Structure 1
Amino acid sequence: MDHDAMDLAEARYELVISVDARRSGEYDDVDKQRMRERIYRVLEAAFTHAKVARDAVHMEDRGDGVLLSVAGRIAVTRLLGLWMVEVHENLRDENRGLSVPLGLRVGMHVGPVRHDGRGISGRAVDLACRLADSPLARRLLDAERADLVLVASQSLYEDVVSSGGKFIEPAHYSSARLELKEGEVTAWFHLPGRPAPEIPTAAPAAPDADRADDVDGARDIRDVSGTRDVSDASGVDDTRGVDDAPDVDDVRRVDGEDRADAPRAHYTVHGDMSQHSDNVYQQPVHIGRITGDAGRRKG
């Protein structure tokens, strides 16, 4: 096996950094180019000030963001600490005087990364991108009126952040469960220069203009306080966010009265589900009702 083929077959253990711009779809063509120039100025100046050699950094353009991986010979603490401080300060400088400040979401994870002629790939890359793109990262950036949010993976927090270090404050991170396409994970959220953020529990904010729906992206958090468990003897339980399960509308009542404008909840139904119109059932009922001839009215 030649050297190039060996490089493709072997994964390198690296820090993956995914950087996304907030509401990039709202920029016109001219402003989007300026936005991209600002992102690169912020990131490249941070690498210079953190004394991270450019040959240690792989960088891919993503249109409205940048995907990076940093060689294992560079201490991860330098990226989580000094580099993030420099990114934050550079971003603040760029945003001075801007009517619409640039906002960045940064996802980080350490894991095996494969390089080829077109870029990088691997589960570590996928996870870093999912973290940066998660609905909670978007919501937190807006809720806190911040310019920068860092989302670290559980393993990165446990292995590096929790031990602290120069410019690394474990107490300034807050955790939340995220339901991603690949499954449920724990992520740690940090707003540089601020105390640990309060994880928002309200309904999700309106999606970005460049993301009308979230079919392939990360799902929202599941462990939000206020999520209800409505399991009962009928076999209906509240498991919102399950894509493949049928769902039925919640009975929306306020103070004993039906409210058509009340929020709608979704439920997963175990067993067969009947169809009905105006309380007239069109087939046997399997949820807490008698089925077949026994359920018909006499006379």
Structure 2
Amino acid sequence: MTSQTKTTGMTSRTKRTGRSLSQPRPGPLQYLVLGLLALVFVYPIWWAVSSSLKPPADIVRDPLSFSLGSATLDNYRAMFDDVPIGTGFVNTVLVVAVKGAMTMFFCPLAGYAFAKYRFPGKNLLFGVLMLTLMLPTLVLVIPLLLEMSQLGWVNTYQALILPGSIDAFSIFWMRQTIAAVPDELLDAGRVDGASEFGIFARIVVPVIRPGIAALGVLTAMNIYNDFVWPVVAVNDESHQTLQVVLSTLAQNVTGNRVGADFATVWGELLAAGSIAMLPVLALFVLLQRHFINGILAGSVKG
């Protein structure tokens, strides 16, 4: 049997199995380690959800046990009565959608300009942009709040959406991702008569799709979990985001219900936390493949 025949046979077997020869099959020890790690990460989520279904007294008396026979939705009913979590969800979805759309539109364009164009002061401007990444968020809170006050935007959606919608990290991420796109592809588009925006939309965006997907997941999670700026910029209950509503849950429970004990507060806290983490978990599960591909896109040289 010739070497060519052996190679052909190995290639056909690889296609049938769907695995590359450079990817060895995980052994039992690796499966065991992965299973233990999965258990460590999943157990807190399971405990929070199962505890939210227990009577408040059982949460304090025996926090580690769970019985389907004692499962109840009383914590959820009480939580919806005591806390405006629906309003917080609506406000959060609005902020994530609008602010995320602005980030996903403008930051790739800015990254494209830094990666593929030459203009005066480019390196200086990019260096200043990188310096802003070193500034803690708390340093910018007071100047931004004063700016929002001068514009009359305190307790408005503009204050929640516009600050930070075009951030330095997203521009840097897109710049590094787009820099790996060959210049020959762009030159070919120009030869065919495509406009500069057409080159970006039809050539660059399909190539960097994994990086854009990863940025989308990171952006959505950061906006969804943001607490510092919303709690400063908004004190009106009708504009509060979900994280701000959750932070005041204990005060609302004890204030709305006379004689509310420690167990009751914990039950409603766990119920609200279980609902709040569902969108993030669903987002990551649905987009985890694109997220991982985007993270690893620049780690291997083609």
TM-score, length of structure 2 as denominator length: 0.20
**Higher alpha-carbon Rg:** 2
Structure with the higher fraction of residues in helix conformation: 2
